[in-house]
């Protein structure tokens, strides 16, 4: 028998084909269910198209998202490259010259001192291990962020075993800057102090748990071969809890520009001198005076070696002791030391 022709079914098939549906109409069963689902989906898409205009395919949306992501990454890379060009990582030296006569300036040194103090012997070796390391500097060369750490110890040279007397640990993050003849240092740092075991067993002192965090600000100005500086610090957290927080700090340094002698690869030497004054509120603003004078050598090579120095200095100090555990005592000392700035 020949197959019957139904005009209505043909119209339905043409309608489904034009709308994107199946070419053949399912007869019954699961195929019928699929047909009705497809039919409803077609009408749903047609309604969305009529109501909202053109419909964006999922593929187009994916391409748009990919293009947006690539543009964002490209822009971020360009901004990052521009930022990197404006910064210098691990720069040599510092924009704020280290304080020459400050007893707590992080540096490498060893000094032999003759002292007059109620807590220490007459002959003391003072040793420091520390440095200021630049982390990043602005490309314009006017600001820098560094990390500075130091260990300062004193040893009793009159004992057979050279007993450790006191050790101070310091670590901080200085922000330094320079504009013409002006320079400055803003620093947050931590200090803790500890007595040596041999000293504790022999002397039995009253131990103090001295530990604090301080915020410091010092501003300096160059006057030709002279530099004057002034500022202070505030102990934001401290033990003992009744420790008074204020400290005033000022000083004057002299560094002539003309070398006095030359030692080949060891560098050119010039005379240096400095006077440092520090007055803690805890001691009713009594001033501790530190003085240094000596010969400082700088290698003649350019670049990073230009910031390296070594010096032989005469030390003198009088006032509240700079040794942490004995901050309530006074000390007078004179001696000679060898210093290195790397």
Residues of the chain with confidence (pLDDT) below 50 = 1-63, 66-67, 70-71, 74-75, 77-79, 81-82, 302-305
pLDDT at 119: 86
Answer whether 194's CB lies under 8 Å from 219's CB: no
pLDDT at 80: 52
User: How far is Cα 152 from Cα 104, in angstroms, rounded to an integer?
Assistant: 8
Tokens of 41: 């989906």
Q: 10 Å Cβ neighbour count for 109? A: 21
- CA-based R_g, the chain, Å: 38
Answer whether 146's CB lies under 8 Å from 172's CB: no
User: How far is Cα 135 from Cα 149, in angstroms, rounded to an integer?
Assistant: 13
Whole-prediction pTM: 0.74
- What are the E-state strand segments in 180-308? 182-195, 211-223, 226-239, 246-254, 261-262, 268-280, 288-298
pLDDT at 306: 54
Place of tokens 């210098």: 88
Query: What does DSSP say about strands 211-223 and 182-195: parallel, antiparallel, or unpaired?
Result: antiparallel
Backbone angles phi, psi at 328, to 5 degrees: -90, -5
Q: 10 Å Cβ neighbour count for 123? A: 15
pLDDT at 141: 85
Answer whether 143's CB lies under 8 Å from 161's CB: no
Domain 89-341 has CATH 2.40.230.10: yes
pLDDT at 68: 53
Cα–Cα distances in angstroms (integers) from residue 106 to residues 53, 103, 317, 340, in the given order: 72, 9, 18, 10
Q: What is the pLDDT of residues 170-191, one digit of tens each?
A: 999 999 999 999 999 999 999 9
């Amino acid at each position: 028998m020949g197959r019957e022709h139904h005009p209505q079914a043909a119209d339905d098939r043409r309608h489904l084909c034009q709308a994107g549906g199946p070419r053949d109409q399912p007869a019954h069963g699961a195929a019928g269910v699929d047909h009705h689902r497809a039919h409803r989906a077609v009408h749903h898409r047609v309604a969305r198209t009529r109501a909202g205009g053109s419909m964006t395919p999922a593929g187009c949306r994916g391409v748009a998202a990919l293009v947006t992501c690539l543009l964002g990454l490209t822009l971020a890379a360009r901004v990052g490259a521009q930022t990197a060009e404006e910064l210098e990582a691990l720069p040599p030296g510092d924009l704020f010259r280290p304080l020459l006569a400050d007893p707590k300036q992080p540096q490498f040194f060893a000094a032999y001192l003759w002292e007059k103090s109620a807590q220490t012997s007459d002959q003391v070796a003072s040793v420091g291990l520390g440095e200021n390391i630049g982390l990043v500097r602005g490309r314009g060369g006017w600001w820098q962020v560094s990390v500075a750490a130091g260990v300062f110890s004193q040893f009793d040279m009159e004992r057979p075993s050279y007993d450790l007397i006191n050790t101070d640990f310091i670590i901080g993050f200085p922000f330094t800057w320079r504009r013409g003849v002006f320079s400055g240092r803003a620093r947050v740092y931590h200090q803790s102090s500890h007595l040596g075991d041999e000293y504790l067993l022999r002397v039995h002192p009253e131990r103090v748990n001295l530990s604090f965090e301080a915020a410091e600000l010092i501003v300096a100005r160059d006057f030709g071969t002279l530099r004057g500086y002034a500022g202070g610090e505030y102990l934001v957290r401290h033990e003992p809890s009744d420790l008074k927080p204020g400290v005033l700090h000022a000083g004057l340094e002299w560094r002539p520009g003309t070398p006095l002698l030359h030692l080949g690869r060891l560098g050119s030497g010039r005379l240096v001198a400095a006077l440092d004054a520090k007055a803690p509120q805890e001691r009713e603003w009594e001033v501790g005076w530190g003085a240094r004078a000596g010969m400082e050598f700088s290698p003649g090579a350019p670049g990073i070696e230009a910031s390296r120095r070594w010096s032989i200095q005469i030390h003198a100090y009088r006032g509240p002791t700079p040794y942490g555990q004995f901050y309530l005592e006074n000390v007078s000392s004179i001696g000679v030391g060898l210093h290195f700035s790397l």
